[in-house]
């Protein structure tokens, strides 16, 4: 399919706008010191030279029942008390297990998706189509549960970033994050990362926002700006980039590889009132914060990117080694027969739907 960007303006009572005034420049040298790190008021008036869409103001999502629309629901969760916990899923099985455990938000990890779909490392190998196809399946399992999806660098220039947003939104994804690594990116917890200029990063964010605001009817799709620059250019530059991304329209700020609790607290304070996302990977650059600790430090979203695929490697590896050694899968099955397995995959839902429609194919299974 070709480039897709809706041409109609969002149906809002007041169009998004940017008011021009002085602000930190996207062209400021990377080693320029961060000027403001003090905590800001939680509900300030819209600041000059900042993208502002009154329809998407967090105060509009504070009250009322949770929406069946996943993007709207995610905005409600962000606006209300409590941290959003999103376990990383890599396929339909891991998504089913996360839903069964009671999680009310999921994270489609780029690393996990690349590993699951392609059997490859997270080194810019998976494409937009790989990610969208996976998202379509995951989002269909429970369409009301928000799925936050990794979108790497947006897979190209502004037109491709815009296409990524529209494709993800159409797949049912609630929000995505766009990062500032070069196109030949890598997992954010590996060494040797390179990042693009501030302006190129902001171009990606602006393209994502334009695409979201061009979706007919007024989309609540959440744009998350991610920077990997902390390990390359330092924390001051990382925070400055996220401030600029927020000014350009990012709804949430994601700083990859924050190394201490104090740095996370400082990041949250510097970026307030924008919500901050923290990514926890066991053995990675960020400490193994618990959900409770991350909330105490001020983070609004915590994702555990590799929780499912690392567990899958351990479990599958053990099962394969046991089968090779013993010649049977009896011990690794742990008493789970085929029907019990399919019940985790939604067997009863399919049986009930068939029966309600008048079908008789699955009266006995």
Q: What are residue 87's phi and psi, to 5 degrees?
A: -70, 145
Known catalytic membership, residue 204: no
Among the options 53, 96, 105, 150, which is catalytic?
150
Q: Report which secondary-structure segment, H or E, holds 113.
A: helix 110-118
Full DSSP string of 185-224: ---TTSS---B--HHHHHHHHHHHHHHHHTSTT---PEEE
Q: Give me 208's structure tokens.
A: 């994502």
* CB-based contacts of 362, cutoff 8 Å, min separation 6: 350, 351, 354, 355
Do residues 138 and 95 touch, judged by C-beta distance below 8 A? yes
Q: Give me 163's structure tokens.
A: 């296409």
Do residues 322 and 331 touch, judged by C-beta distance below 8 A? yes
Among the options 177, 186, 189, 241, which is catalytic?
177
Classify residue 73 by burial, with Cβ atoms within 10 Å: 0-12, 13-18, 19+. Answer: buried
Known catalytic membership, residue 314: no
Do residues 207 and 164 touch, judged by C-beta distance below 8 A? no
Rounded Cα distance, 227 and 35, in Å? 18
Among the options 75, 105, 152, 212, which is catalytic?
152
Q: How many other β-carbons are positioned within 10 Å of the β-carbon of residue 332? A: 16
Known catalytic membership, residue 199: no
Known catalytic membership, residue 187: yes
Q: Name the nearest CA neighbour of 110 among 314, 283, 306, 315.
A: 306
Q: Report which secondary-structure segment, H or E, holds 252.
A: strand 252-255
Q: Report which secondary-structure segment, H or E, holds 316.
A: helix 307-326
Among the options 91, 279, 297, 309, which is catalytic?
279
Among the options 90, 139, 187, 253, which is catalytic?
187
Among the options 236, 237, 256, 266, which is catalytic?
256
Known catalytic membership, residue 150: yes
Q: What are residue 284's phi and psi, to 5 degrees?
A: -90, -165
What's the Rg (C-alpha) of the chain?
21
Distance of CA 340 to the CA centre of its chain: 31
Known catalytic membership, residue 80: no
Among the options 91, 122, 236, 266, which is catalytic?
122
Among the options 73, 204, 206, 226, which is catalytic?
226
Known catalytic membership, residue 27: no
Tokens 């602000």 locate to 23
Among the options 51, 75, 168, 179, which is catalytic?
179
Known catalytic membership, residue 107: yes
Known catalytic membership, residue 295: no
Rounded Cα distance, 3 and 109, in Å? 24
Known catalytic membership, residue 139: no
What positions carry a catalytic annotation? 107, 122, 150, 152, 177, 179, 187, 226, 256, 279
């Amino acid at each position: 399919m070709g480039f897709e960007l809706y041409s109609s303006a969002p149906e809002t009572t007041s169009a998004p706008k940017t008011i021009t005034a002085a602000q930190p420049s996207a062209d400021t040298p990377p080693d320029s010191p961060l000027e403001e790190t003090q905590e800001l008021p939680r509900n300030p008036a819209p600041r000059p030279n900042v993208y502002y869409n009154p329809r998407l103001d967090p105060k509009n999502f504070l009250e009322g029942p949770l929406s069946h629309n996943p993007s709207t629901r995610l905005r409600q969760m962000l606006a209300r008390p409590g941290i959003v916990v999103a376990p990383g899923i890599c396929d339909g099985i891991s998504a089913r297990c996360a839903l069964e455990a009671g999680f009310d938000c999921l994270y489609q990890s780029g690393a996990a998706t690349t590993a699951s779909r392609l059997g490859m490392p997270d080194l810019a190998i998976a494409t937009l189509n790989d990610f969208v196809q996976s998202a379509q399946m995951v989002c269909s399992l429970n369409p009301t549960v928000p799925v936050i999806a990794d979108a790497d660098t947006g897979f190209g220039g502004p037109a491709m970033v815009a296409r990524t947003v529209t494709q993800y939104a159409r797949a049912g994804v609630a929000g995505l994050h766009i990062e500032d690594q070069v196109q030949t990116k890598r997992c954010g917890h590996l060494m040797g990362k390179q990042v693009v200029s501030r302006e190129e990063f902001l171009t990606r964010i602006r393209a994502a926002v334009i695409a979201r605001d061009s979706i007919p009817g007024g989309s609540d799709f959440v744009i998350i700006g991610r920077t990997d620059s902390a390990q390359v250019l330092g924390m001051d530059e990382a925070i400055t980039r996220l401030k600029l991304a927020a000014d350009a329209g990012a709804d949430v700020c994601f700083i990859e590889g924050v190394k201490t609790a104090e740095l996370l607290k400082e990041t949250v304070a510097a970026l307030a009132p924008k919500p901050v996302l923290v990514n926890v990977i066991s053995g990675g650059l960020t400490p193994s914060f618990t959900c409770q600790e991350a909330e105490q430090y001020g983070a609004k979203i915590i994702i555990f990117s590799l929780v499912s695929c690392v567990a899958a490697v351990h479990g599958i590896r053990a099962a394969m080694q046991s089968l090779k050694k013993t010649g049977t899968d009896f011990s690794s099955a742990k008493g789970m027969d085929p029907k019990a397995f399919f019940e985790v995959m939604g067997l009863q839902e399919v049986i009930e739907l068939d029966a309600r429609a008048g079908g008789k194919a699955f009266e006995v299974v």
